[in-house]
Structure formats: structure tokens, C-alpha cells
Amino acid sequence: MRQKRRVRVMVAKPGLDGHDRGARIIARAYRDAGFEVVYTGLHQTPEEIVAAAIQEDVDMIGLSSLAGAHKYLFLAVVELLREKAADDIVVCGGGIIPDDDIEKLKESGVKEVFTPGTPLDDIVKWVQNNVTPRQD
Amino acid sequence: MNDIVEKIVAGDVRTVARLIRDIDDGMPEVREVLKDLYPHTGNAYVIGITGAPGVGKSTLVDQMVAHLRKRDKTVGVLAVDPTSPFSGGAILGDRVRMQRHSMDPGVFIRSLATRGHFGGLTQSTRSAIDVLDAMGKDYILVETVGVGQDEVDVVRSAHTTVIVVIPGMGDDIQAIKAGILEIGDIFLINKADREGCDKTMSDLRMMIEMDQKKYDRGAWKPPILKIQAVFDKGVAEFIDEIDKHARYLADTAGGLDFRASKTKVRQELGEMIKARLIEEVIDRLTESGDFDRAVESIIKGKIDPYTACENLVLPTLS
């Protein structure tokens, strides 16, 4: 039977923070929305995340950061994707992120940033509206 | 040569990743690519790793990759996790244990979701193996979804099939049932520091030694190894056993190239015909509307599903 394209996303925890409860809850919500979710686990470098995302041919990378290094880490992922000509992969992020930083992240290529308290449904809906499986 | 084929044979990661997605998504265009890739396959050694959920398959695969890399071998990994029967989504978490290899250009890791396919693998696994083979990987490790007793697809694609168990799973009767325990070329008892390891060992040994006559005639006798994958204990010895099994296959069991094995080709062609027939028939019946009409008729009690099935299938075959 011919199958439809499925949305494939990666949920990744860059850097040194060791709290992945939020990331796991997001991964679960994505699963329940019918996405295939590649989970990489903790303590990933931006290089590891981008290499894995390319091998897995995902449509989106969701980054979670609770430890303050989001500006460096998120932007490194965006930059590396560009370098590898893989910037068709959408990057979004979530975590404890100050408003000022959100603006800067979005200007630099992070498509959306979710802060604590955002309902899971909103996050899932955003992905459904902004991430389409690769068409070519 | 096809441009995509050229890139894959040259080992281009992005092209490989995309092709596997296209295979997974059932894109009809991939058929032509796979035809052209076939002459470039047949060089990789395929190892299937199977066992119940939580026995340590991913951790073992991670250690195997490390050992094979130390021996200067390149490695492809296909790791299967289950698709939700309700949402169609999946959490593919095998990579968590293997991420230390993600930057190594000699390693390609891909997570696959079962998407409703039974048997421990995905519909796409056979072709994905061919892609990694054509890409030039020396070894391809196929980690099945956590299996129960009857998911034995992996044996068709693997040179060496490895069954991973842990101490304390079931009593002796489990060991004489048909199915998963029959397909092992190597048995591993992981987490061997746990209680009950010796009992598991003697159960497995008894099961294997019941076939002593086969071994006397020269058949491969599956070894049983105690390991602790997470501490890398026993993994090097396990890789040595894989080498021994490979030599056995090469010397006595008809060689390593499955493309020249009548049994393997029969199986594979049979599976391919089955999959293609179902795809073509369902597509045709869906497009013509006959499928939906038959569903309606059954619901309204005008026809029974057995007759409806016959009416739908037989004409498409003539």
C-alpha cells in the first residue's frame, strides 16, 4: 500500500543541562500527534545534533534548553545546518528563555521559541502549521 | 549511471538518508534507483540483533559499533522501534545509546518505525540494507523492535542472527517453544551479573544441545555467551564469534553473497511479489472506488466479506 509522507522530527537536548523531562513530554505529545520522533538524549553538541538530523532526514529539530546557553547552542545548530546545506530543516526551541533572547534567536533563524506554560496543543499545532514533510 | 546511484556509491550521507526516507514512505520512484543499486550490493556483512524489549539491544549495538570501528570497519545501523497503533506516531529512542558515534564518518545510524509491519522489522528494512550496502558499509547492524516469540523476519536478511536474553526470563519450557529461539546463530545472556544467569545458561544449552545430531553432521552450533554490554564485558569475545560464524558461512554453508543463494533469493523474491501485488491491487481498487463500494455493501448486509474479497481480487488477476 502506498504510504503518505510522515512528519519526522528530532527532539534534542544540547549542552550540559541534565533535565530532559520537558523534552520527553514534548516528544510524547509529538508521538500522539502522529509524528515520528527521533530522540537523541542528553548532553549533545550542536555538531552531533546536526549530524544525526541529516542521517535521520528529519523535517524539524526541536531544541530544549533550561540552563542559559540557548543563544550559543541554538544558533550553532542553525549555522551548522546552513553550512551543510540542510537549512530546509526547521529549527524551533523551548525552555527557560528570556524575551530579549527570543527576538534575537528568531532574527537569526530559529523559527519559533516556546517558553514554560505553553500548552502542548499549541506547540503541536504550530508544528502542524509550520513543518511539512519534505516534498521532493 | 543514475545521479542518485552515483552519490550513494560515493557514500553521500544526505542522499542515503533521503533515499531511505523515500523507501520508507513508499515513493514509487525509488524502484528505479533500487534496480540500479542492486549491482553495487552484496558486499556488506549483515548482523541481526533481536530480543525482548529492555534486554539491552541498543546498548549492545553501540558497543559493537565501537569494536568494529577499532578494527577499521565501517558500520551502518538500522534500529527499529514501534509505531503507535493509535496515532501512527513513534518515539525512536535507540539512538540515545549510540549518539557517541554520530560524528564518526565511518558510521551511519538510522532509526525506523514499524508503521504497522509485523515481524520485528519494517517494510523498508530489506531495501534500506541494500542502500547501506551499496554505500560501502562493511557491516550493517539491524536492531529489531523489541520482540516477543514470533518476530523472525530478521533472519532472512542477516548473515548472523543474534538473540539477546537476560537472566530470569521464563522457565525451561520457554526454551523449547518454536519461534525466536530457533533462529539464533549466537545467543547472548546480557546483564549477566543478575541472579539466575547460570539457570538461563543451562536452559539455553539444553535447548541447543537437543540438536546435537545436526552439529555432528557439520551444522553450526550456536554459542552462548555471558556479557554485560553496558560495561563492555564480553563484547570483544562476541565479535570473535561473529567472525567464526562468518567463516563457517563462507566455507561450508554456501558463501556470504545472498544474491547467489537460491533459498535467500526465493524468499526475497516471494516477499517482494507479495508486497507489490498487495500494493497494486489495493491502489487499483481504491482508485476505481470498488473498495469503498464493497465496504458499503458489506455494511448493508448485501454481501459477505468472503464473496466481496473474491469479487475484488480475482478480476484484477486475470
What pLDDT is attached to residue B1?
55
**Set of chain A residues whose Cβ sits within 8 Å of the Cβ of B103:** 47-48, 51
Domain ranges of chain B: 42-257, 269-317
Most confident of B224-228, B249-253, B274-278: B224-228
Question: Interhelix angle for A120-130 vs A21-32, to 10°?
Answer: 60
Structural domain of A31: 8-128
The partner residue sitting opposite B84, judged by closest CB among A31, A47, A54, is A31
Q: What percent of chain B has pLDDT over 70?
A: 96
Spatial separation of the C-alpha atoms in residues A120 and B68, rounded to whole Å: 42
Interface with B, mutate which of A9, A31, A120 (most B CBs under 10 A) = A31
Helix (H, G, I), strand (E, B) or coil at B9: helix
pLDDT of residue B263: 84
| Range scoring the smallest mean pLDDT among A47-61, A83-97, B272-286, B297-311 | B272-286
Q: Which of A77-81, B256-260, B265-269, B309-313 has the lowest mean pLDDT?
A: B256-260
* A26-35, B162-171, B205-214, B280-289: least confident range: B162-171
Which pLDDT tens digit goes with each residue over B83-108?
988 899 999 999 999 999 999 999 99
What is the total count of domains within chain A?
A: 1
How many helices and strands in chain B, by DSSP H and E? 12, 8
**pLDDT tier at B282 (50, 70, 90 boundaries)?**
confident
Give the ranges where B152-230 is alpha helix by DSSP (H): 154-157, 197-209, 212-216
Q: Is A91 on the interface with B (CB under 8 A)?
A: no
In whole angstroms, what is the distance from residue B112 CA to residue B92 CA?
7
Q: What value, to the nearest 5°, has the Cα angle with vertex B33 and ends B29 and B36?
A: 145
CB of A86 within 8 Å of any CB in chain B?
yes
B42-257 CATH pick, 3.40.50.300, 1.10.3210.10, 3.10.20.600, 1.10.600.10: 3.40.50.300
Q: Is the pLDDT of residue B303 over 80?
A: yes
Task: Name the band, by pLDDT with cuts 50, 70 and 90, for residue B171.
Answer: low
Tens digit of each residue's pLDDT (9 = 90 or more) over B213-246: 999 999 999 999 999 999 999 999 999 999 999 9
User: What is the reported pLDDT for B172?
Assistant: 55
Interface test with B, best of A2, A80, A81 (most B CBs within 10 A): A2
Predicted pLDDT of residue A2 = 52
What is the pLDDT of chain B when averaged over all its residues?
Answer: 91
Average pLDDT over residues A94-123: 95
A54 touches chain B (CB under 8 A): yes
B115 has a pLDDT exceeding 60: yes
Q: Are B232 and B63 in contact (CB under 8 A)?
A: yes
Mean pLDDT value across residues B118-131 = 91
Interface pTM (ipTM) of the complex?
A: 0.92
Chain A nearest-CA residue for B274: A1
Q: Which of B152, B30, B36, B21 has its CA nearest to residue B78?
A: B21
Q: Indicate yes or no: CB of A32 within 8 angstroms of CB of B87.
A: yes
CATH number of the domain encompassing residue A110: 3.40.50.280
pLDDT in tens, B172-215: 556 556 677 788 999 999 999 999 999 889 888 988 998 999 99
Q: Cell numbers of B30, please?
A: 525509488
pLDDT band (50, 70, 90) for residue B271:
confident
Compute the average pLDDT of residues A70-84.
95
Judge whether A134 lies within some domain: no
| Residue A20 predicted with pLDDT over 80 | yes
Between A134 and A113, name the one with better pLDDT.
A113
Give the residue with greater pLDDT, B177 vs A83: A83
Q: Which of residues 251-290 of B touch A (CB under 8 A)?
A: 278-279, 282-283
Residue A13 included in any domain? yes
Tell me the residue length of chain B.
318
Nearest to B164 by CA among B259, B285, B309, B63: B63
